Structure 1
Amino acid sequence: MSAQSVITRAVRVAAGVFAPGHLGELTQIVPFEMVDAVLAESTPAAPRRVRLLPARVAMYFLLAMGLFPELGYRGVWSKLTAGLDGLKLVTPSTSALRQARRRVGVPPLTALFELLAGPLAWPRTPGVCWRGLRLVAIDGTGIAIPDSGTNQTWTDKPRTAAHPDTGYPLLRLVTLVECGTRALIAAVFGSPADGELVYASKLLPRLRPGTVLLADRNFDAATFITTAAGTGADLLIRLKANRRPPRTGRHTDGSITSIIGGVEVRIIEARITVTTADGSRRSEHYRLVTTLLDPQRYPATELIELYHQRWDIETAYLALKHTLTRGRVLRSRNPAGVEQELWALLVTYQILRIAMTDATGSRPGLDPDRAGFSIALHAARDQIITARSVIAGTRIDLVGTIGRQVLAGLHPTRRARICPRTVKRPLSKYAYKKPRQPRSCLTAAIDVTVTNAATSPLTRTTPP
């Protein structure tokens, strides 16, 4: 007769119909009291009656939807209750879960995001600051939503002459991200018809003195630069090819001073050459504008290299749209549902970033860059299924099971490498029949040569 082992465990969750309202270990980041508070503030006229699907449970259900994007309503509910055997919980129908979502509405999810959003790391954390300035980035991306009639009245599909009616309607999401941790500081979304600059202007009040805003060429606009500089934050933005700034002064490092939108700025030009391991070489001319005017304190070469940190927001979008949702279209077929679902998804993303930053912060000198988002995501899903650590004990574990798995699977120190960009969801299914570039990442050597912006043909010598 073979030996046998019996494993027993105790699960502590809320009592009664509130038991399915949890996110496993992540519940300690978004505890019951926090969810109840945003519900009370956002829906003060809500009925006091305790339903079989209370509003608190519906809130956690909405957050769990982002962690299990491949499942339907009943499938997500089964994950929340998988570790609660013996409690004789009611299994709601899909219709009941849908009605619970509608009762909650959008404001509580928006309020919860505002409560959790913001920088996460201490200034001395590696990769978070540069010369005492916190690095943040701003950019936009498209979020695909279901192709329903009501959604198309809110936003439209991307159209081309060859494909006038294909693909999914898109929302424009614009966020402000902390580069070191890739945490969300602020977010706004809506129809792409308004453009990124319109949405970005709504995020600028979240900027503070002591930060550097990194942005690509789409944000090279005099109004945007003027408004952003007015917040007290510094800027580092790539200029468009048709921008011809006037020269008002010059520095020995090759940079010049100029005026854009009434703001005194410094312009740096450089030639960046990338040589990959397979011997191929590519060069590109960069022109950056910054409000960091002192060339001694803020060297031109370092600013050119610093601009590369802007790609941290692209990595954040990769985690949000492909790792977390696995490239799937959102579920909701009406604008109110889409808005609620997207805020819930942003909250879920931020919760995971908080867990990852807590883990890396437990080891002094560890760069948050080395924490794996996929590792944190799968560990969090496991904790939900088993309903572990929903309620913290008398001894608080700041790292937790998720954090320990993140620390056990740290990425190596980042190397200089490039990876070809491809269209993830082409408009035509026949696009995949064309020869595609290899998706393997190649190690690369990057050479930065600062050129003389004063003698550049793109610089005007006449005063503004």
Structure 2
Amino acid sequence: MGEGVMVRPDQVSLGMLVAAVPRDAVDEAVAVCGVREKRSDGTLPAHVITYLTLALCLFPDDDYTEVATKVTGSLDRWGCWNAAWTVPTTSAITQARKRLGPKVFPELFERCCGPVAGSAGPAAPAVALGTARGSFLRRWRLLAIDGFELDLPDSKENAAEFGYAGSGDNRSAFPKARVVALAECGTHAFVAAEVDAYSVGEKTLAQRLYPRLRADELLTADRGFYSWQGWDTAAATGAALLWRAPTQLDLPVVAVLADGTYLSVLIKPTIRGARRARILAAVRDGADPADLADGLDERGWPVAHRVRVIEYEVPDRVGNGSGELIVLLSTITDLHGDDGARADELAAAYHQRWEEETANDQLKTHLRGPGRVLRSRLPDLVRQEIWAYLIVHHAISDLTARASAAADLDPDSISFAKTLRLIRRSATGTADISPSGLG
């Protein structure tokens, strides 16, 4: 942990998961998904297997029974089961996970895994304000979008559902699932995600995430995520956008602003010829594309967006003595005021995008383990396991954000790996569980 940061033992025990995923939220998710068990059928209740599945993500090296043995004492102290009962077998846990199905954990994530960095102050002038440094730019909460892959057990079911990377002699050793997520930059907390087969591209999964953006958020994205459709969908939410432009994107200069940035216009690629020229000419004359007859399609949707372009050079980025030109697109076209931001603020905000790569590394390298294959051999359980990892990572991010806020420190000053080790040490107990009657 960072020097001077105090975290109470009860905060880092398995009670962290119970606090992050309350029993009532579990019961509500189970009810919504229609998988509540009959209490007299002798099976593991849904809330018990939910907490056990989360605990499996804390101990990826251990088998089902070993994990259950480790954590039952802690969960008994938190009122999640009765310590007088016996530890369930691996088979019983597997069958209970199958009954729970793939829908409960994404439902739980939606209920429990929101932003954790508090709120922006009314006069926040720059990046690195609020209860977690790097979480806000003025009135906007900073988010980043990125993707990662996870190796799965090489079962025929996983291969059919998720597929491999490459083909033939270049085929990956294991089937792979693809995850694209939105993360809060300052705290690394994932706040929305999509999970699918490897063949489903990052842009496709991102397209499903954009409608969840809110007007008080600013989404940063690397150039690999840019598309007209993606920008159009994300901008329609009212959220602010700050994306790196792909190299070949045409960005005509509409007007140069006082800070050296300039206004441009993004026009739908299918709009060509005279109509495209009319839109560009009108925008150069000061018109809003949405006010133009040529600026809407037959459904009344915009075919052009005015944007601000911020260009700056990063010296010696690749270590060969040359610089790299960074070109950013933003919906923030004003330099000042409640809806404005300076060029240096936007450049600093875009730099925060790299914090999501830290979040990905925390989940894949520290929580799951480097190079580790997930444990689930069936697709429904794979999805369940991935969402469980996302929830556990969020719980740890929430804990470190609150600890850092209490000490007025950057969350990065608290080691994720050390916090995880402390949680694992504190999560063990020696109670037994019964496979039935845990009301």
TM-score (norm 2): 0.77
Matched residues in 1 for 2:430 and 2:115: separation? 29
Which AA in structure 1 matches 2:251? P
- For each residue in 1:284-332, what CA deviation from the matched residue of structure 2 results, as whole angstroms up to 9, or x when unmatched? 1111111111235422233223211000110000001111001211111
Are 1:238 and 2:244 counterparts?
yes
Matched with 1:368 is 411
Which AA in structure 2 matches 1:136? L
Change (3 A) 1:149 1:104: same
- For each residue in 1:142-188, what CA deviation from the matched residue of structure 2 results, as whole angstroms up to 9, or x when unmatched? 11111111111112211267x33342111110101111111111111
Change (3 A) 1:191 1:45: same
Task: Give matches, 1:116-155, under 5 Å.
Answer: 116-122=112-118, 123=120, 124-125=130-131, 126-155=133-162
Matched with 2:108 is 112
Matched residues in 2 for 1:222 and 1:50: separation? 53
Correspondence for 1:269 among 300, 311, 319? 311
- For each residue in 1:327-361, what CA deviation from the matched residue of structure 2 results, as whole angstroms up to 9, or x when unmatched? 21111112111111111111111111122222223
| Displacement after TM superposition at 1:44 (Å) | 5.8
Correspondence for 1:211 among 191, 211, 217? 217
2:375 partner SS: coil
| Displacement after TM superposition at 1:228 (Å) | 0.9
Are 1:91 and 2:87 counterparts?
yes
Ranked by relative contact order (alpha carbons within 8 Å, sequence separation 6 or more), the top structure is 2
2:24 partner SS: helix
Which AA in structure 1 matches 2:141? R
| Displacement after TM superposition at 1:282 (Å) | 4.8
Matched residues in 2 for 1:193 and 1:275: separation? 32
Whether contact under 8 Å (2:26, 2:50) holds in the other structure is: yes
Matched residues in 1 for 2:190 and 2:317: separation? 33
Matched with 2:356 is 313
Change (3 A) 1:309 1:25: closer
| Displacement after TM superposition at 1:98 (Å) | 0.7
Whether contact under 8 Å (2:73, 2:83) holds in the other structure is: no
TM-score (norm 1): 0.73
Matched residues in 1 for 2:172 and 2:148: separation? 19
**Percent of paired sites with the same residue:** 36
When structure 1 is superposed on structure 2, of 120-129 and 217-226 the one drifting more is 120-129
1:120 partner SS: coil
Change (3 A) 1:166 1:222: closer
| Displacement after TM superposition at 1:52 (Å) | 5.7
Correspondence for 2:99 among 88, 100, 103? 103
Matched residues in 1 for 2:28 and 2:355: separation? 33
Change (3 A) 1:63 1:379: same
Matched residues in 2 for 1:220 and 1:98: separation? 41
Task: Give matches, 1:19-418, under 5 Å.
Answer: 23-43=14-34, 46-49=37-40, 51=42, 53-81=44-72, 87-122=83-118, 123=120, 124-125=130-131, 126-159=133-166, 163-261=169-267, 262-274=304-316, 281-296=321-336, 297-327=340-370, 328-363=372-407, 365-386=408-429
| Displacement after TM superposition at 1:192 (Å) | 2.8
Whether contact under 8 Å (1:106, 1:336) holds in the other structure is: yes
1:209 partner SS: coil
Whether contact under 8 Å (2:243, 2:330) holds in the other structure is: yes
| Displacement after TM superposition at 1:366 (Å) | 2.6
Whether contact under 8 Å (1:24, 1:387) holds in the other structure is: no
| Displacement after TM superposition at 1:50 (Å) | 6.1
Matched residues in 1 for 2:254 and 2:200: separation? 34
- For each residue in 1:85-131, what CA deviation from the matched residue of structure 2 results, as whole angstroms up to 9, or x when unmatched? 99553232211111111121122212111111211112222321112
Change (3 A) 1:27 1:291: same
| Displacement after TM superposition at 1:375 (Å) | 2.2
Change (3 A) 1:344 1:240: same
| Displacement after TM superposition at 1:25 (Å) | 4.3
Matched residues in 1 for 2:41 and 2:395: separation? 27
Matched residues in 2 for 1:387 and 1:238: separation? 52
| Displacement after TM superposition at 1:62 (Å) | 0.3
Change (3 A) 1:149 1:205: same
1:152 partner SS: helix
Matched residues in 2 for 1:99 and 1:373: separation? 33
Whether contact under 8 Å (2:210, 2:234) holds in the other structure is: yes
Change (3 A) 1:29 1:249: same
Whether contact under 8 Å (2:43, 2:96) holds in the other structure is: no
Which AA in structure 2 matches 1:115? R
Change (3 A) 1:160 1:253: farther
The Cα RMSD (Å) is: 2.6
Which AA in structure 2 matches 1:291? T
Gaps of 5+ in 2: 1-9, 121-129, 268-303, 432-439
| Displacement after TM superposition at 1:258 (Å) | 1.0
2:193 partner SS: strand
Which AA in structure 2 matches 1:202? R
Matched residues in 2 for 1:275 and 1:48: separation? 61
